[in-house]
Amino acid sequence: MSMHIAAMPGEIAEVVLLPGDPLRAKFVADTYLENPVKYNDIRNIFGYTGTYKGKRVSVQGTGMGIPSVSIYVNELFRDYGVRRALRIGTAGSIRVDVKLRDLVIAMSACTDSGANKIRFGGRDYAPTASFSLLKTAYDTACALGFKPAVGPVVSSDMFYTEDPDEWKLWAQFGCIAVEMECAELYTLAAKYGREALTLLTVSDSLVTHEVTSAEERQQTFLQMMEVALETAIS
Ligand code: HPA
């Protein structure tokens, strides 16, 4: 057991999918995994292990934001020997050509978070995806007929920013979408020498102020899952 995860050693697979929403973890386990077993319900942040196409896969909720994802990913890498972690989440588009429901693959993550300022004593660090996972996800997505947007994202500590135009500077510097966890996942993967990737579907647009419906989010989530699972077991 670690502090926030109740699993015994060996109960979590080397490959883990990471939705923010714990109920999404339950949905993934119920929908895609054979013989899923729940190994965690501490704080209702559910985690399950099962098999997908014969390979062991776990799915662990992380909660929202860098402090929360940091707790779960630290424990998964440090205490459970997880080798490959794929975040599956949603993001707000900050570019006109990244549309609602598009699939985004985060190549790297800029951030306004204090986490890496603390960790690196004020120096900058460039949180970056695993190239091999990124290539596999991109090729898989293209083979399935999707056209993923690949680029840097922004991992923000603030969903409700004081300045509603704050995203524009990030967009000017090439970022394509805003979410709240990727920078910490990539930083911790580098620290522990593991592989990580973030796949996102666009749930809203900061450019046009459009928002997807719950049904649309569910549909795009299913499409993203095809890419995530094939990449996870590759
Ligand atoms: N901002 C930050 N995180 C998000 C957003 C957003 O607009 N949409 C989905 N996750």
The predicted structure's pLDDT at residue 178: 98
The predicted structure's pLDDT at residue 225: 97
The predicted structure's pLDDT at residue 152: 98
Could you give the C-alpha distances from 179 to 29, 111, 192, in angstroms and in order? 23, 10, 23
Looking at CATH, the fold of the domain delimited by 15-232 is given as Rossmann fold (3.40.50)
Residue 43 DSSP label? G
Counting ligand 1 atoms within 8 A of each CB, the residue from 24, 158, 159, 161 with the most, and so the one to mutate, is 159
**pLDDT class of 22 with cuts at 50, 70, 90:** very high
The predicted structure's pLDDT at residue 163: 96
The predicted structure's pLDDT at residue 122: 95
The predicted structure's pLDDT at residue 183: 99
What percent of the chain shows pLDDT beyond 70?
100
112 catalytic, yes or no? no
What percent of the chain shows pLDDT beyond 90?
100
Cα–Cα nearest to 94, from 181, 201, 207, 174: 207
Mean pLDDT (whole number) for 198-222: 96
Counting ligand 1 atoms within 8 A of each CB, the residue from 180, 181, 200, 212 with the most, and so the one to mutate, is 180
What's the half-sphere exposure (Cβ side, CA atoms, 13 Å) at 127? 29
Query: Which amino acid residue places its CA nearest to atom 9 of ligand 1?
Result: 91
The predicted structure's pLDDT at residue 14: 98
User: Cβ distance 70 to 184 under 8 Å?
Assistant: yes
What lies within 8 Å, CB to CB, of 182 at 6+ separation is: 87, 106, 109, 127, 153, 155, 198
**pLDDT class of 99 with cuts at 50, 70, 90:** very high
211 phi, psi to nearest 5 deg: -135, 140
Q: Per residue in 68-97, pLDDT tens?
A: 999 999 999 999 999 999 999 999 999 999
**pLDDT class of 56 with cuts at 50, 70, 90:** very high
**pLDDT class of 26 with cuts at 50, 70, 90:** very high
Mean pLDDT (whole number) for 93-122: 98
The predicted structure's pLDDT at residue 31: 97
Tokens describing residue 230: 């094939």
Tell me the pLDDT of the chain averaged across its residues: 97
